[in-house]
Amino acid sequence: MGYSYKSSDDAPLMCFNGAKSWQLGWYAAYHASAQPLRRSWKGTMIGLSESGMSLGGNSSGYAVVLKIKCHSQDDYYANFNRKTGCNKGAKEGADQVLITKRKRGTGYAVSTLAAKLSVGDSYTVNKFGGKRMTVLLNEIRWGLSNARASVQVTAN
């Protein structure tokens, strides 16, 4: 479910991708779902270390993992790969929004990194239920101790 570097069993400190985190039910209070074939989704994503998981709830409306559903093909997942806390050793896509995909379903499936988005970048799937699905990273708002990523998902 994850990649281990040969030099260490316990490092670097980094977490699973969005697809695997969703599958494991991690950060469940911070899961969000988008069905862009029905309506667009716009929201704010945070890094998993900034979720306040120890508080046990999500009154903020922020998402740590976004599942983008399409009933006829792969599901896609977005997460803000914030390089802080238990993810401070992220080797790839640090402080970017990562898009991963996997076959639809709830059991084990291989997940693949599809895109790493910086501010202004977008990722498009041309054959998404007969339409084009686009994920756009509008902005990242940096704070002294946190960051927020504004993400939009549309289909047309």
Query: Does residue 40 carry a pLDDT above 60?
Result: yes
- Domains in the chain: boundaries: 18-155
Q: Which CATH class is domain 18-155?
A: mainly beta
Do 79 and 21 contact (CB within 8 A), yes or no? yes
Task: Give pLDDT, residue 45.
Answer: 92
Helix (H) or strand (E) holding 98: strand 97-102
Cis ω before 12 (30° cut-off from 0): yes
- Residues 65-110 have pLDDT tens digits of 999 988 777 899 999 988 776 666 667 777 899 999 988 877 788 8
pLDDT at 112 over 50: yes
Rounded to the nearest integer, the mean pLDDT of the chain is: 81
State mean pLDDT over 22-39.
87
Q: From the centroid of its chain, how far is CA 83? A: 13
Band (152; pLDDT cuts 50, 70, 90): very high
Looking at residue 3, its amino acid is Y
Q: Considering the entire predicted model, what is its pTM? A: 0.82
Residue 139 pLDDT > 90: yes
Neighbours of 54 (CB within 10 A): 5
Give the confidence band of 61 by pLDDT, cuts at 50, 70, 90: confident
What are the DSSP E strand ranges found in 53-117?
65-68, 75-80, 97-102, 111-117
Asked whether the beta carbons of 141 and 47 are under 8 A apart, the reply is: no
* β 75-80/97-102 pair status: antiparallel
